[in-house]
Amino acid sequence: MSGRLDILRPDWRDRVAAAADWLRGRGFTAPTGLVLGSGLGNFVDALDDVESVDYGEIPGFTTTSVAEHKGRLVAGLAGGRSVLVMQGRLHPYEGLPLDELLLPTAVLAGLDVTTAVITNAAGGLNLHFVPGDLMVIRDHLDMHFDDPLRGLLAPEAETGRAGRPYRLYDPDLAQLMREAGAATDVPLHVGVYGSMWGPAYETKAEIGMLRRAGCDSVGMSTAPEVALLHVLGVKVAGLSCITNPAREVGQPELSHGDVVEVGMMVRDRMARLLLAFLPRLDD
Ligand code: HPA
């Protein structure tokens, strides 16, 4: 078992380790992990030598309630590189305690993942963004306004984290992502992701606030996962797939179905980008 889990609260660490051991025994381990956002799950079609397991079968996993999420962990080769892919995720709006919400993320770290690519479907706050665009996340604003790691770490680790600088998204990975974008002709923005509670989309006033606060994209996931991966020593690249404009004026009415549909358009671009990005990793 990977020693990096030692910083977790002992009883939670045991639950994470039990799930990770169960998966490891079935061959689910890789240096790179990916989490796929709403409507982006089809990236797994680009993998070779695929094995998968439904979240419901994994000891300790809570199954996701969002209908179009498949809710499974997939292992395979992406451009010859071994990867673990979480197809479907839990969201803070599901109201779960943090140790349930973040258990799958911790398990990923327990399966020897050293680099993670966290993707999401997001609204475009930046006025230059159009649906179908991709944005490398350079930082986020966590509008849950709560510590996503509260109570999850062992007391020593809790003390160790106080006052430490907090650079969550790895700049070298962001650069590799941009190089992969240039090599595949997939244009990439770089910006700040705003992580909201949801599940309703933002009010116009919230959209205005987020844009003035410096956010370029907005969604309902990612920030808690990235905070945990960071303390567990996993390097993170973040990617927003812009599925709709988020505007203070002229905002179109949006259904979840609309977002999933544009998600289907951007997912091909994202797959192309990731297939060029993953072989550039060197660990
Ligand atoms: N807001 C929040 N989450 C989202 C959006 C949005 O506009 N689009 C896709 N996920």
pLDDT of residue 160: 79
Q: Which of 89, 201, 262 to mutate to test the pocket of ligand 1 (most atoms within 8 A of CB)?
A: 201
CA distance 268 to 263: 9
Give me the domain span that covers residue 274: 3-157+167-278
pLDDT of residue 126: 98
pLDDT of residue 68: 46
Q: What are 189-205's pLDDT values in tens digits?
A: 999 999 999 999 999 99
Cα distances (angstroms) measured from residue 177 to each of 47, 108, 144, 186, 255: 19, 21, 27, 10, 30
Cβ atoms within 10 Å of 115's Cβ, excluding its own: 22
Judged by average pLDDT, the poorest of 56-60, 64-68, 160-164, 238-242 is 64-68
Cβ atoms within 10 Å of 79's Cβ, excluding its own: 15
| 203 domain residue, yes or no | yes
Q: Is 69 a catalytic residue?
A: yes
* Helix ranges restricted to H, the chain: 10-24, 98-101, 103-110, 155-161, 171-184, 204-212, 223-231, 256-277
Which entry of 1, 18, 52, 93 is annotated as an active-site residue?
93
Percent helix, strand, coil in the chain (nearest 5)?
40, 25, 35
Give the distance (Å) from ligand 1 centre to CA of residue 34: 20
Q: Is 244 a catalytic residue?
A: yes
Structural domains in the chain (count): 1
- Contact of 94 with 215, CB cutoff 8 Å: no
CA distance 39 to 54: 17
| 134 domain residue, yes or no | yes
Higher pLDDT, 161 or 142: 142
| 209 domain residue, yes or no | yes
- CA 87 to chain centroid, in Å, comes to 10
Average pLDDT, the chain: 92
> 227 in ligand 1 pocket by Cβ < 6 Å?
no
Query: Per the structure block, which two tokens stand in for 220?
Result: 């309902």
> 242 in ligand 1 pocket by Cβ < 6 Å?
no
| Burial bucket for residue 3 (CB in 10 Å: 0-12, 13-18, 19+) | exposed
Q: What are 6-46's pLDDT values in tens digits?
A: 999 999 999 999 999 999 999 999 999 999 988 888 899 99
| 283 domain residue, yes or no | no
Q: What are 78-110's pLDDT values in tens digits?
A: 988 999 999 999 999 998 999 999 999 999 999
Max Cα distance, the chain (Å): 53
pLDDT of residue 2: 54
Q: Is 126 a catalytic residue?
A: no
| 162 domain residue, yes or no | no
pLDDT of residue 64: 61
Q: Which of 93, 129, 195, 202 to mutate to test the pocket of ligand 1 (most atoms within 8 A of CB)?
A: 202
CATH, residue 198: 3.40.50.1580
Cα distances (angstroms) measured from residue 129 to each of 45, 46, 73: 27, 27, 31
| 127 domain residue, yes or no | yes
Q: Which of 259, 260, 267 to mutate to test the pocket of ligand 1 (most atoms within 8 A of CB)?
A: 259
